[in-house]
Structure 1
Amino acid sequence: MPSNNIAPLPGDQEEASPVRPLSAEEARRVREQIPQVSPWWVVAGQAGVGFVAALVAWALTGKQNVGWSVAYGALAVVVPAAVFARGLTGKFSSLNAGSAAVGFLLWEMVKIALTFAMLAMASRLVAGLSWPALLVGLVLAMKVYWVALAFARRPKTIKS
């Protein structure tokens, strides 16, 4: 007889479920195989890439406003990402799976709203704003997520 409360369809054969719960040891081994990336490592990487990109843009063009535009574009990614990381690492984010999911969605909406607000204020905050340069800084800072995953801790091999 099946262990769940769903009645089998007519003609279904009773079979053993292919899914079984993991033991504590098996769950620990699975967690060790998944690369962990700290959100603060990603935020720091985004800030570093934004700073370097702004200096390079300023040096290549000789225009201070281009450097500030690239920096502000990166800042429009870094500040919301820092708020998001702080929200996800708070004490309520890991109470249970439900609060973690709701917290993730809530902080993601806050991050998106803050990014849009910063972009809307860009022309008022950066003198002589160059939108293409701002977009370069924005895209470079966003791509740090992929770089952080590339340099994440590698999974350990399973020894049987």
Structure 2
Amino acid sequence: MGFADRPQANVNPKETRAGRLDAQPDWDDASQGDAADEVAFKALTREEAQALRARIPPLSPWRVVAAQAAAGVFCAALWWLFTQEGGKAWSALYGVIAVVVPNALMAWGTSRRPVGHAGAALLSLMFWELIKIVLVIAILVAVAMRASDLSWPALLLTMIVSLKVNWLALLMQGRIKKISDGN
């Protein structure tokens, strides 16, 4: 039975407009939660905000770049260990370079000086993200043109591993903080 074949309910548009649209829709739980959220929200004082920042330090982008590099080099070493083919290991290293170099450039560009205005910070982030994308494409094109024994599975798999290690760096940040606190 297709969509057009389904039976339609007999609904009077005037009743629907008068009865159901004026009433609170069943699916709109936002109005019920807004009042509770406003009561539960409390602005932090300066001291409370400083204590929160001290308790949860920000994750350095350099730590994430280092984790990406380590994961990529480990993956390249595994390619070499299991295949014993230099071409696949080099392809995996090219994948690491295609991830780490643009991310390191973006980390440098976005963290070299603080930006006071939120709009300027967003513009800076967008600019460095564009530079990062262009650099990744340039590296991949250069590798595809220059490497004679390129293994695309090795390159792409290593790129994926290096890119997906971000969540691991975030997880380790929490674990390291808990261990250093003695928990």
**Shorter chain as normaliser: what TM range?**
0.7 to 0.9
Task: Map 1:105-120 to 2 at 5 A.
Answer: 105-120=126-141
Match of 2:59 among 37, 50, 64: 37
Match of 2:93 among 71, 78, 81: 71
Deviation per CA, 1:110-146: give whole Å up to 9, x if none: 1111112211222123231011111011001101211
After superposition, the CA RMSD in angstroms is 2.3
The alpha-carbon deviation at position 41 of structure 1 amounts to 0.9
Counterparts of 1:41 and 1:21 in 2: how far apart (Å)?
31
Give structure 2 stretches of 5+ with no counterpart.
1-34
Are positions 1:135 and 2:156 aligned together? yes
How many pairs are equivalent?
A: 141
TM-score normalised by the chain length of structure 1 = 0.77
Q: Is contact 1:35-1:152 (8 Å) kept?
A: no
Q: Which moved more, 1:28-37 or 1:116-125?
A: 28-37
Counterparts of 2:118 and 2:45 in 1: how far apart (Å)?
19
The alpha-carbon deviation at position 149 of structure 1 amounts to 0.4
Which structure ranks higher in relative contact order (CA pairs < 8 Å, sequence separation ≥ 6)?
1
Partner of 1:9: none
TM-score normalised by the chain length of structure 2 = 0.68
Are positions 1:152 and 2:152 aligned together? no
Are positions 1:50 and 2:69 aligned together? no
Q: Which has more helix, going by share of residues?
A: 2
